[in-house]
Amino acid sequence: MDIKAIADTPLRKRTNVRSLAAAIGKPKSTVHEWIKRGLLRSHSNAIKPYLTDANKISRLRFCLDQVEPYSMPIHPRFKSFHNVLHIDEKWFFMSKTSQKFYLLPDEADPYRACKSKRFIAKVMFLCVVGRPLFGDNGEVLWDGKVGIFHFTEKCKAKRKSKNRPKGVLEVKPITSVTKQVTKDMLINKVIPAIQEKWPSHLSKDIHIQQDNAMPHIQGVDSDFMAAGNTNGFHITLHNQPPNSPDLNVLDLGFFRAIQSLKDQCALSTVVELLEAVEGAYDALSPQTLNKVWLSYQQVLTKVMENEGGNNYKLPHMGKDRLARAGNLPSCLNIELALIEKTARLLGEQNANTNEEMVEFNTEDGDDYLSS
C-alpha cells in the first residue's frame, strides 16, 4: 500500500471506496482488503457549528463557571450539577425517508409512498432532565427525569373518514412553535412538574439551562419569574453559550438514546408516536443518564483544552467498567494548570477589550470607561 499516494489524495476523493480506488489507480477489491486488514479506517464526519472568537470566549467563561469553587486549589473538580436542569427541543418523525429492513429471500420488498417529505407526521418534544442522585449503596434516590412534553393540541375532526367519524377529538401536532407556545409550556407544564418531582432533600434553588433558539423566552420574563418563585422554589432560566450544542446533555447523547429506542416501534398514528417517545424516555435508566452527565464534564475539559473550540475527540473513560467495579466517579477532576491557563486567556481577552475601548474613547473624545 502506497501510504503517500493515499495521504496526498484530496479528502473529497476519499468519500467512498470507488472514488479512492480510482484516485490511486488500484482495484476496489484491493481497497476493500486494506479496510478489512485495518490499514484504512472509515470515518463519519459531521459538520460542527462555526465558532467566532466571541463564541469561544463565552464557552471558556461558561466552562470555568462549572468548576466547584470550594475544590480550589487543592483538588479542582467540577460541580455536582444536582441543582441544574437541561432542557431542549427535538422533532420526532413518524417514519424515516430511508429505512432499512431485513427480509426473507423470497419476501416482497415493502412499498412506502408519500406525496412529499413534508407530509410525514412529526411532533416536537421538550425534554427536561437533571443529574440522577444515587445513595451510598447505589440505590436510585432520584432518576433525574422531570419529563418529556409534546407540543400538540386536541382538535375536532372536520370531516369523517374510515378511521373516525366527524367531530371526534384528534391529537394534532403544533407545527409552529412560537415564543408564546414555549412560554406556556414552561409555565404550565415544566415548572409544575419540577416542583412535583424535585427531591425534598435537594436545594430548591434550581437553574434551568436552555439553548439560544429564537422561540425561547429569557430568564427575566416576569411571568416565568413569578411562576418559578412559588411553593418555596427559586427557579431561574439561563442560556448556554451560542453555537454550543455540545454543552447540553440532551444534545450530547440523551436524545440519541431516546431516538434509538423509539425507532424499534412500528408507528401509524400521532398518538402511537407520542406513546413511543414517552415510553423510550421512561425506559432509559438513570445510570445511562448519569453517564451522559459524566461525558458532559469531559466535554467541559476538552473545550478548555481546545481554548474554547469544538475540534476535539472525547476519550473513552470506560464508564461501564468503572461502574461494575464500583469506581465510577461522581464528579471529574480537572488539572489546576488548565484552569489557570483558561483564566489567563480570559484575562488577556478582557485586557484587549479594555485597550480597544480606550483607543475608541481617545479617538472619539468620550470618557466611556468612567460612565
Distance CA 54, CA 64 (A): 15
**Among the listed residues 198, 197, 89, the one whose alpha carbon sits nearest the alpha carbon of residue 150:** 89
Give residue 118's pLDDT.
Answer: 79
Q: Cell for 236?
A: 431561574
**Among the listed residues 62, 50, 57, the one whose alpha carbon sits nearest the alpha carbon of residue 310:** 50
C-beta separation of 229 from 221 below 8 A: no
Give residue 360's pLDDT.
Answer: 40
Output the pTM of the full model. 0.86
Kindly report the three-state secondary structure assignment for every residue of 355-370: HHHHHHHHHHCCCCCC
Angle (nearest 5°) at CA 198 between 125 and 285: 60
- pLDDT tens readout for residues 348-369: 887 776 655 444 444 444 433 3
Core vs surface per residue 113-145: b (16+ CB within 10 A) or e: eeeeeeeebebbbbbbbbbbbbeeeeeeebbbb
- pLDDT tens readout for residues 318-352: 999 999 888 999 999 999 999 999 999 999 887 77
- pLDDT tens readout for residues 194-212: 999 999 999 999 999 999 9
C-beta separation of 24 from 6 below 8 A: yes
Q: Cell for 49?
A: 457549528
More confident residue, 312 or 351: 312
Q: Cell for 364?
A: 472619539
Residue 51 dihedral angles phi and psi, to the nearest 5°: -115, 125
